[in-house]
Every structure is written in structure tokens, then in C-alpha cells.
A and B are shown apart, each in its own frame.
Chain A
């Protein structure tokens, strides 16, 4: 019997891409948090009125997150279950 194979140091192209896709999926909520907290820095404490620009900005960010998640989802699903790539 063998000692367990060491995980390879460098990966082939396809698994490499899959790993980066997972990284991207993990980073997505962090990007989201950043974008959603950003407006806190625009507004002055004294400002009272809600402007339509704010509304459009938030829905834009929302759509962006949804779009990115939709783009990642099929690739993430395909790669699942390939054991040697779990990290």
C-alpha cells in the first residue's frame, strides 16, 4: 500500500480555472459588503433628503451581485464532487 499522494503543487489548466472560480465566489460577498457600505462615506451627517441617485445606485449594485452570482453558479456546480480539488 501506498502513502497518500501528495497534492500536486501545480495544476492543469481546467482545475486551475475551477479553483480561481471558487476564489471569486468567496470574494463576491466581500465585494458586496464593500459596495453596500460605500455610500456611508458619501453622505454628510446633516443630509436629510433621500435622492433618487441613491436608489438607483443600490439597485445597480444588487443587479451586479446577482449577475455575477449567476455567472459563477454553473461552473461551481460542475466542479463539485471532484475530490482532489477540495481545498
Chain B
């Protein structure tokens, strides 16, 4: 097999994955995911548990240590078939509290403590580094296998540069698809689907090689069994400690590995999928391991002594002259390595940005809280973090030289992340677990792991000197890294497992028993432990003294304008208000915090809201909920609370209606006096001048002048009556609409030209985004243009900025088009925002620029008739109006 063919195949495969991810992202944005959200995709995405270590390493492991490789798959099998114990709760909590990573889960459970988030992040990064190095190494090794098989082919690059290319390629892919947008739920459908495709590829590849070995090389199942019996797999000495310990370790790892947490909890769309995965994922694991032993046995038998058993999956088909099969196997291994690295680096980047970079950023620049767009900071932080994680992995590969057997590194990484276990289990099932306990446990476990397992993995004399290995730290023999407290007889890995987790758990328990948790911690604890009872909510905000507009500005910076506005609008509607600004009730603040924490993590979201609202106070009800274990009171108060919320909502609606009625009544009087005034003024001058004219003997130029005045006044009168007539037709809904397809861009052009007549002396800077305006709308173009003209003229009339600017932005979403007109003036004061659409509502008499104050009222009626709406948009830094029209307006049956 020529080496360049291999490279081309690799590139084609990557392009194919790109296409899959891209198409799925597009469909996800359009909201058409369909079967892509099925339990099948979920189960397949879980298969990133099987990395290159499984794909290549399992055979090597079997060749070296017999059946022990099975323990790596038995642990996850036990965890998944026992999903009712732990995974169900984990996924429920993850979904309910919008957990973004395992660090976020721990930090959130222990009182939204960012210190814990940082500790877990550090552990995860340190443990993942060798694991990523392992994946790079496997890709490099598999390239090397093909290279050595082609004596006449193009000379392959040396391993070092292959590793660099692979690392850079993976970083690019991950950055492209993992950080395209900030999702409120931190999900990446494109990547998950690509991972699922890769899962199929690696399974098919391994099964194909296995089938070839069993039925192609050997004579079917019977022959294989005979060969296994005959083979001298010298190493399966049952070590009960290792056997049980490794099952335990892999069971823990499948829960705590950041990438597993990402696909299992964060990317989960539906809790029901877990039920299916509970047996389907173990089935996948079993199929992956089905042919490992036959491949190992036949490989040892057929291949020359001294060949690397880690590469049997590739070398065996190559030696038998099956180039195509070897290529398939190569792609399988490539898939295993890439999918693991991609998801792992996304998970780690989320942790790093949410727990390290953003808190630092907010602390260093508290002023920034009111200014720039945080979304780009978060996204850039993630991009850099992904690159950094891969660079670390490459660095480890480079330093370690990629020599050690694959399995050893994998197990060390497993043990590293396993240190999260006591805090996780304690946090989920024990309300007495405290923050201090969790910190103590994690730090202890991490230090012991580093000392007994991670640092020794570099070999004696590398990080820890020979003297430390032989005599212990500071010459204390009971501190030898592989024989703590004199336990010399243990296997090094089991020794590290035993001591790190035991000391970790002990520190965790002692810390928890001796300290007293704060109120936030206690509430979070109760909320997490009793997540299925649902009677205790998480910690609540008291009603804050905060302008909702400030909250909106902050939310826009994190969630994006669109998302934030729709969140605020729907909350306002729930409170019975018809605007974009809800009252800052505790319920609303909680909802906002939950939404924000889905993007930047619980601790940061909490900190940002309390920056505006002030310290979160724990209310009396909360304290009662903590103090009282009685379910009766909780249920009673929950029902009362529900009723109270209902009442508040109704009262809010009533209050608003009442306010409006009062205002309307005042307006009605104003309307009458206004209309008589508006009608009388022209009438008076017409009468006066016509009287003068009837007296006769006036110079002709005076006659012309008076005649013109009479004409103008009559015109004004007609216009006023026209407007009134228009309004009443529109209000009665008897208007005739001229439906047709019209270009939005053309309508805006017309409107801008027409509106230039209003105060032509002012020069306006207009910001438009022409490509977004290239939409054809089926509507009544004249009417819609009339509305545009009105809004633009209003901006020209009332915008009080020295250098007036008008921004027109168009968005299309779900069959509706929204057009925003935003100027940079002072805007409209809050108390008048609900009045401007009423008849004869003029805000300042000082600024009378003709017109009778009917413009916006007419606009509103037109939009209602066009099946859309026009609304005032607060918090945009000026007066802003949003028009919504349906893309295709169908004629009403009436």
C-alpha cells in the first residue's frame, strides 16, 4: 500500500466527517434534527469510551496479560446495566441544572464554589494530557506500520512531524465545530453525529479484521477455540487484586472522564435515551471485544517474534496481503483517536473557559461587566484552550518519546480523573457533604495520585530521583512512591488506586463531618440529593433592586440579542405584562441564572447576577425549607406558592389593564379636545381669510396669498380626516389588502427616499446589511412601506443625537421576518413606552413637527392587519422599534 494513498484516504475521510458535522449543524439550526436525536446516536456517541487504546491497545493487552483487558469493559458494563443507581440521577441533575461539565457539577453542588471548579479543571487537564498523547502516539505508530511496509514508496515523514500535523488538524476541526456558537445548553449536534459515524466505522473495522482472522486465516470458531487452548498466553496469572481493582477503576472512569460526562450528560437530549443505552452501550463494548482474543492469538502465532502486539490489528491483515482490510482497520484506529481527542478537548476547553478564564476576566476588569460582548471572550477563550490542550498532549508525547505500552498510560489517566469520585458520589447522595470536605478530598487524592502514579510513570530518575524511589521522600521509607506505608507487595497501579482513593475519601469525609456548610451550599445540596422529589428548589434570589434593563443588557452580552430578548419577553408574558421587560422577581432571576449557567457555568452566572442584584439573600422560606424536614409543610407551601404565583400573575395583568384604562380615559378626553382643536385651527383660518376675500377690493397678490393659505389649510384638514378614516378602516379590519411578492430591500429603499423629505436639513448615517435584506415577502407592499416611512421619519424627527445614526437590521426566523429600526438618540422614557402607539400620543409638544400623532397608531393597525406586529424594543441604546411580519401572508378566509 503506497503511503501517499494512505494520506489521501485519511484526508478524504476527514473531509467526509467535516461534511457530516456541517450538514447536521445546519439542520440543528433549522430545528430539523429528527432521527439524529435518537437513542441510537446517543449510544454510538458514548462509544468515545473506546479510544485508540481499545482499538489497538486491547489486542496488545490481551497478548501481554490475557483476559485482563476485559476488565476495562466490564466496569462500564456494570455501571450502565445498573443505571438506575447512579446514571439516572446524574443525567437528571445535569439536565435540570444545565450542567456544562463535571467541574461545573461539583462546583454547583458545593455552593457554586469556583475554587472547586478550578481544582477539578486542573485534575482533568493533567490527567487528560497523557491520554491525548496516547492517541497521537497511536496514529503515529499506525502511520509507521504502513511506512515500513512500503520499501519503495514515498518516504514517510518522521514520527515527530506526523504527530504535529495530526495535532494541528484535530485542533482545527475541533475549533471549527466545537466553538461555532455559544449554546444555551452547550450542545454540539454536529460533532456528536460525526462521533457516531466514527463509532460505526471503528466497530465495522474491528469486526471485519476479526471475521477475517476467524474465517479467513483460521478455520472458523472451532479452530479458534482450539488455537486459544493451544496458545501459550503465558501471562494470565489471575491476580485477584488487579482483576477486581481494574473493574472498579474502569467503572469509576466511565462516570468521571470529562469526555464521557460531556456525551453522557451534557449532550443528552432526552432522559429516555439512557434506558436504551443501558443495554445497547454494553452490547457495543462486547462487540468491540469479541475478536480481540482471536486476533491476539493468531497474531502471536503468525507474526514474527518481537513484532509490536499493539499493532496486530494492522500488521496481521498487511502480512496476509489484505491491503484494503488494513486500510479499513487504519481508518478505524484513526476514528478512535480523533473522536476521543475532539470531545475531550471540547470538554476541557469548556471547563477552562468557564472556571478559569471568565472568572479571571471578570475579576480583572469589573468595568467590563457593563461594556463589551462577553460571548466573543468566551469563544476565544475556548479556542485558545483547545489549542493549548492539544499542545500539552503533543508536548507530553514529545517528552515521553512515545515508548511506553499503550495500556499503562491509559490506566494512569483513568486513575487521575477517578479522584473526582468521592466528591461526586458524596455530593449526589449525602446531604452532609460540604465544600471544604470536597476540596480536602480532591487535593489529597490528586497529590497522592501524582506522587504514586503520575510522576513515577516518567520512569525512575526523570522527575522523581532514584533515591526517592528506593528510600522514599526525604529518606522516609514509608513514603516510597510505590510502597506507601510499607505496602510493598502490591501491584503499583493497584497500590496507587488503593491509597489515592482511600485517602481521598477519608479526607473528604473528615472535612465534611467537621465543617459547617453555608446556606447556599445547604440549599444546593438538598436540591441535588433530592432531585427526584423536586420539593426543594435550588437557592433562590430575593426580589432584587435592579433595573430589568441592566439585566437585559448583561444577558444580551452572554446569550446574544435574539435569545435574551425572547427569554425576557416570554418571562414578561408569564407575569402578565405585554412588554420586553419583566419585573425582577425571584422566579425570573432564577430562570435567568439557569439560562446563563448553561453557557458560562453556575459559579460565573451566579457571580454575574449578584454583581447587579447584590448579594443573594436567603429568604425565610428557604431557611424553613432547610430547617424543616417535614414533607407536609413543603408540599403545603409549594401549593400555596403555586397559587400565589397565579394570583400575582393575574394581579399583574389586572394592574396593567387598569393602568391602561385610566390612561385611555384621559386620552379619550384629550382625543376629543385634540380633535376639535385640530379641526378648529384650520377651520378658523379658512373662515377668517375667506371673509377677507369676500369683502373684495384686495390687490391680486394678496388674493393669491390668502387663497394659498386657504388651500393649504384645507389640505391639512383633508389629511387629518384621511388619517382618521384610514385608522377607522384599519381598526374595523375592513381594509382591502393588495397581497403580492415584494422585495424587502426595495421597500426599504423606497421608504428611505420618501422619508428624506422629513427634516431634509438633517444628514443621517444609515447602517444597513444589504445581503440580509434580500428577502421576498408576500404581503401588502404599499402598506408595509408606509410603516417603514413612518418609523424612519419619526427617527429623523425625534432623534436628538448630534450625529444621528439609524441602524436597520433584518432577521429571518421560522417563517417570520423581523426588521429593527434603531437610532442613537435618547430613546423613549420607560413610562411612555406603552403609550406611544395610542392615538394623538405625542411625547413632547416642544417638538411638534406637523402630524397629529396618528402615525404610530396607524402603523400598529397596519401591522395587525398584515398579521405581524410593531413593538418598542428597550435596552438598545436609543429608540428602537421592531417590526415582525410573516414571510408569507395568506388571505384570510373572511
Known: A29-B85, A52-B225, A54-B67. A86 touches B532 (CB 8 A): yes
Interface of B is mostly: helix
Q: Is the CB of A62 within 8 A of B225?
A: no
- Residue numbers in B under 8 Å from A11 (CB-CB): none
Minimum distance in angstroms from A54 CB to a CB of chain B: 6
- Residue numbers in B under 8 Å from A43 (CB-CB): 238
Known: A52-B225, A63-B286. A32 touches B276 (CB 8 A): no
Q: Is the CB of B233 within 8 A of A49?
A: yes
Q: Does A9 contact B (CB under 8 A)?
A: no
Q: Does B761 contact A (CB under 8 A)?
A: no
- Residue numbers in A under 8 Å from B125 (CB-CB): none
Counting chain A CB atoms within 10 Å of each CB, the highest count among B84, B279, B631 belongs to B84
Give Cα distance in the complex from A61 to B262, angstroms.
29
Give Cα distance in the complex from A63 to B636, angstroms.
48
Q: Is the CB of A73 within 8 A of B234?
A: no
- Number of interface residues, chain A, beta carbon within 8 A: 43
Known: A50-B66, A50-B231, A80-B271. A62 touches B282 (CB 8 A): yes
Q: Does B318 contact A (CB under 8 A)?
A: no
The stretch that binds A, out of B239-247, B496-504, B868-876, is B239-247
Give Cα distance in the complex from A56 to B226, angstroms.
13
Contact of A70 (CB < 8 Å), options: B82, B231, B279: B279
Give Cα distance in the complex from A22 to B85, angstroms.
10
Q: Does A14 contact B (CB under 8 A)?
A: no
Q: Which of B437-477 contact A (CB under 8 A)?
A: none
Q: Is the CB of B81 within 8 A of A32?
A: yes
Give Cα distance in the complex from A56 to B286, angstroms.
12
- Residue numbers in A under 8 Å from B280 (CB-CB): 70
- Residue numbers in B under 8 Å from A4 (CB-CB): 631-632, 635-636
- Residue numbers in B under 8 Å from A45 (CB-CB): 237-238
Give Cα distance in the complex from A58 to B282, angstroms.
13
Known: A22-B84, A65-B81, A69-B81. A48 touches B278 (CB 8 A): no
Q: Which of B490-533 contact A (CB under 8 A)?
A: 532-533
Q: Does B229 contact A (CB under 8 A)?
A: yes
- Residue numbers in A under 8 Å from B237 (CB-CB): 45, 47-48
Give Cα distance in the complex from A28 to B231, angstroms.
34
Known: A62-B286, A73-B279, A86-B532. A29 touches B81 (CB 8 A): yes
Q: Is the CB of B236 within 8 A of A68?
A: no
In the complex, per-residue mask of A34-78: 1 if CB is within 8 Å of any chain B CB, else 0? 001101100101011111101110110011011111101110110
Minimum distance in angstroms from A71 CB to a CB of chain B: 8
Q: Is the CB of B84 within 8 A of A55?
A: no
Contact of B80 (CB < 8 Å), options: A40, A50, A69, A74: A69
Across the interface, name the chain B residue whose C-beta is closest to A63: B286
Across the interface, name the chain A residue whose C-beta is closest to B66: A50
Contact of B228 (CB < 8 Å), options: A48, A55, A66, A76: A55
Across the interface, name the chain A residue whose C-beta is closest to B640: A1
Q: Is the CB of A73 within 8 A of B275?
A: yes
Known: A48-B234, A50-B67. A65 touches B639 (CB 8 A): no
Q: Is the CB of A25 within 8 A of B84?
A: yes
Q: Is the CB of B67 within 8 A of A32?
A: no
Give Cα distance in the complex from A62 to B270, angstroms.
26
Q: Does A26 contact B (CB under 8 A)?
A: yes
Q: Does B212 contact A (CB under 8 A)?
A: no
Minimum distance in angstroms from B633 CB to a CB of chain A: 9
- Residue numbers in A under 8 Å from B272 (CB-CB): 77, 80
Q: Does A33 contact B (CB under 8 A)?
A: yes
Q: Does A3 contact B (CB under 8 A)?
A: yes
The stretch that binds A, out of B71-79, B157-165, B699-707, B845-853, is B71-79
Q: Is the CB of B533 within 8 A of A86?
A: yes
Give Cα distance in the complex from A37 to B75, angstroms.
12
- Residue numbers in A under 8 Å from B229 (CB-CB): 49, 51-52
Known: A4-B631, A28-B81. A39 touches B238 (CB 8 A): yes
In the complex, per-residue mask of A10-32: 1 if CB is within 8 Å of any chain B CB, else 0? 00000000000010011011101
18 A-B pairs, CB-CB below 8 angstroms?
A1-B639, A32-B77, A32-B81, A33-B78, A37-B243, A40-B238, A45-B238, A48-B236, A49-B232, A49-B233, A50-B233, A51-B229, A55-B67, A58-B70, A68-B81, A69-B81, A73-B278, A76-B275
A residues at B contact (CB < 8 Å): 1, 3-4, 22, 25-26, 28-30, 32-33, 36-37, 39-40, 43, 45, 47-52, 54-56, 58-59, 62-63, 65-70, 72-74, 76-77, 80, 86
B residues at A contact (CB < 8 Å): 66-67, 70, 74, 77-85, 225-226, 228-229, 231-234, 236-238, 240, 243-244, 247, 271-272, 275-276, 278-280, 282-283, 286, 290, 293, 532-533, 631-632, 635-636, 639
